[in-house]
A and B are shown apart, each in its own frame.
Chain A
Amino acid sequence: MPNPSLLLCDSDALVQSFIANDLRPLQGLTRQFGIQPVITLEVDMELRWLGKHKDRFVPQLDKALKHGILVKLDQSEFQRHLATAAPGTSWSSYQALGSQYYGFVQRGEAYTHAGAVTLGMPALSNDQKAIYVLQAQMLRTAVPTLRAFDLFVFAHESGILQINACEDIRSELLKSGEGIPGPFLHASFENGMRDFPCRLRQGKASETPPDPANHHDPLVIVPL
């Protein structure tokens, strides 16, 4: 299976990259693996006014958009990916699905999962509870759904981030009171990594890994 062309990113996961002030893992995905991180219009909206943070992340978001590290999934960008989507997929069907999901979860998560499901792409979101709620409603969620730490661990394993940078990310997130996966709570990044089942793995072009079928299945990608 070729690498997916997009990774739909949710606010909570991106916020962790913004707080850590390190977008290299996202950049690395595009440059080394041809996977473009995108945000829905709803995530863009959320990141521009996010609860107690208010407009704190706007400068970082604008910079990431300006440099193409993130791309907005607007109607024209969406249509560029229709060729690989299921027949009958359209902007309207995506909007309708997003609106349906939005009844159960927040706007960012709703449209991120709806976009990923509609286009058949993976997503990046830390909100496991949203996945649980959507699945309880018999609604499909992004396959797979990566967490911010999947990306950080993968970035380290594929040489995009040195271990020191990863330790800094962990410290910064802990200091900010951000939720981080259990294995990293009381262990260094390096030690935590050993007990963390990373959902993003690097494979070889010659291998054919199984296609992920669930939100927690690993995604194997190969360098360009």
Chain B
Amino acid sequence: MLQRVLDSASIDPRTCAELLGFNPQLFMQWASGQSHIPESVVPLLSAVLGVPQSFFAMSPRAAKNLSDSDVTPQIWYKFRGPGLVETDREYVVLIRQIGHYLNELEEVTRQKSVQWRSVFESIRNTVDIQAPPREQGKAAAALFRQSTSLGHSATGSGEVLRGLLRAMGILVVETPLAESRIEGCSFYVGSTNAPRPCAFANTHHTTWFRRNVILMHEVGHAIFEPFTGASLDFLDAETADTQELRAQAFAQEVLVPKEVLFHAAQSFGLKWNTLNEVAIARLVADTHVEQRMVVSAAIDGGFIAPERRDDLNRIDISSHIRNFSDHALTTEEFLDKTGQQASDWMGKRTSTLTPRAIRLPIGYVNAVVEAYRNRQISPAKGAEYLLTEEQEFVDRFGDIYENVEL
């Protein structure tokens, strides 16, 4: 059964084994049915591949009667499609593994975050299913802001966004995928009976301002399209289908509703009719979203005329934005300015045991380290969660047992 699921998902068994930390030969024996899959492995395989655990206990005879459409998990329909490469699927395997680990960790620490479920359900139940897609997105955004701390603030939310999504139980992953055309995507992770949404942004050649937009856009997809398996957004793709319009309207209205734009403009006495590169740079810096979204929000808010869109989008703000926001600096510039080391800033959350390195979410790493420091998990377990060696884990986060008589 494992082989059929892997085939249907277009995942190479050897690579999958290494990504999950199993001997490839042993994994192939499980896949071919030559040896039994140990029961302790089934929950992980089920969560990563997106099939019920009972699939792996199915007899070969019963499995024969199933068609491919019966065994292909929803998510892999999308990820085996055109425009996607092996690397994309490999990262999905890794991210889904993190999703499974996060569920496990929350069980152990008894800190389960499921707020996303009630917020998403309330939005789905309230938004008019017959309304135009952009209106649906905006209405959803208003509800989203009301249901979270964003509703109490009129300032840019980029700096609190990731923490907020994580506190709701959403897995946020940002990692560079140089070989991929995916700019952002969303899908559900975790076992089939304990799913959680995941929003992913490819950090390769994207700005922090752009990624804020991507992440909220993906959350928009996760709210409205729970049954599509995955929503994929490609670099330079200009699609105007209803789902994209709705997700983009959602992102814009969550990140830069009229009050946020108004507040940002007022804070430095902006005159909308004399909008220049310095003023736009300041708006981008204050609202925490990219230039195109600022312009779009200003048009939707009635601050500027729609005819000015193209001209304003063409204005080059790159030399000014750096004066207003550290988020516009390159990584090297940022580290220089803040006196941090790259190894401390990113190295501590990059996997080392997987054939492909993944930058783990800060919130996830913190949760693992906190559980370790509270002696809820062993250092070896912490290392497993961070996809690294135990010694490396201890080097990164210290040995809390150094002075303990064991």
Contact = CB atoms under 8 A, between A and B. Distances in A.
Interface of A: 41-42, 45, 48-49, 51-52, 55, 58, 95, 98-99, 102-107, 109-111, 127-133, 136-137
Interface string B6-42: 0000000000010001111110000000000011110
B389 interface: yes
B379 interface: yes
26 contacts: A41-B40, A42-B38, A48-B26, A49-B17, A49-B21, A49-B24, A51-B389, A55-B23, A99-B40, A103-B108, A104-B108, A104-B377, A104-B381, A105-B377, A105-B380, A106-B378, A106-B380, A106-B384, A111-B40, A127-B378, A129-B378, A129-B406, A130-B381, A132-B404, A133-B376, A133-B377
B26 A109 contact: no
A131 B40 CA distance: 20
Contact of A129 (B104, B107, B380): B380
Nearest to B22: A49
Given A52-B389, A129-B401, A104 B376 contact: yes
B380 A103 contact: no
B23 A127 contact: no
A206 B378 CA distance: 41
Contacts of B389: 51-52
Interface in B363-384: 375-381, 384
B40 A102 contact: yes
A23 B375 CA distance: 34
A55 to B, nearest CB: 6
A42 B26 CA distance: 12
A91 to B, nearest CB: 9
B353 interface: yes
B380 A130 contact: yes
Nearest to B43: A99
Nearest to A47: B23
Given A51-B389, A55-B23, A132-B404, A45 B38 contact: yes
Nearest to B384: A106
Contacts of A130: 378, 380-381
A158 B25 CA distance: 39
Contacts of A49: 17, 21-24, 26
Contacts of B377: 103-105, 133
A94 to B, nearest CB: 10
A132 B26 CA distance: 32
B39 A45 contact: no
A133 B375 contact: yes
Label chain A's interface by main secondary structure.
helix
B192 to A, nearest CB: 17
Contacts of A103: 104, 107-108, 377
Contacts of A104: 108, 376-378, 381
A130 B379 CA distance: 8
Nearest to A106: B380
A49 B21 CA distance: 7
Contacts of A106: 378, 380-381, 384
A46 to B, nearest CB: 9
B23 A109 contact: no
Contact of A128 (B41, B381, B406): B406
A19 to B, nearest CB: 15
B375 A132 contact: yes
A51 B26 contact: no
B401 A45 contact: no
A136 B41 contact: no
Contacts of A99: 39-40, 43
* Interface-central residue, A45, A48, A95, A137, by most chain B CB under 10 Å: A45
Contact of B381 (A45, A105, A111): A105
Contacts of A98: 40
Contacts of B23: 45, 48-49, 55, 58
A31 B39 CA distance: 32
A51 B404 CA distance: 26
Nearest to B389: A51
Contact of B380 (A48, A127, A136, A137): A127
* Interface-central residue, A106, A127, A128, by most chain B CB under 10 Å: A106
A169 B371 CA distance: 35
A88 B17 CA distance: 36
A102 to B, nearest CB: 6
A41 B29 CA distance: 14
A120 B373 CA distance: 31
Contact of A105 (B21, B40, B378): B378
Contact of A95 (B22, B39, B384): B39
A104 B374 CA distance: 12
A111 B40 CA distance: 9
A41 B23 CA distance: 13
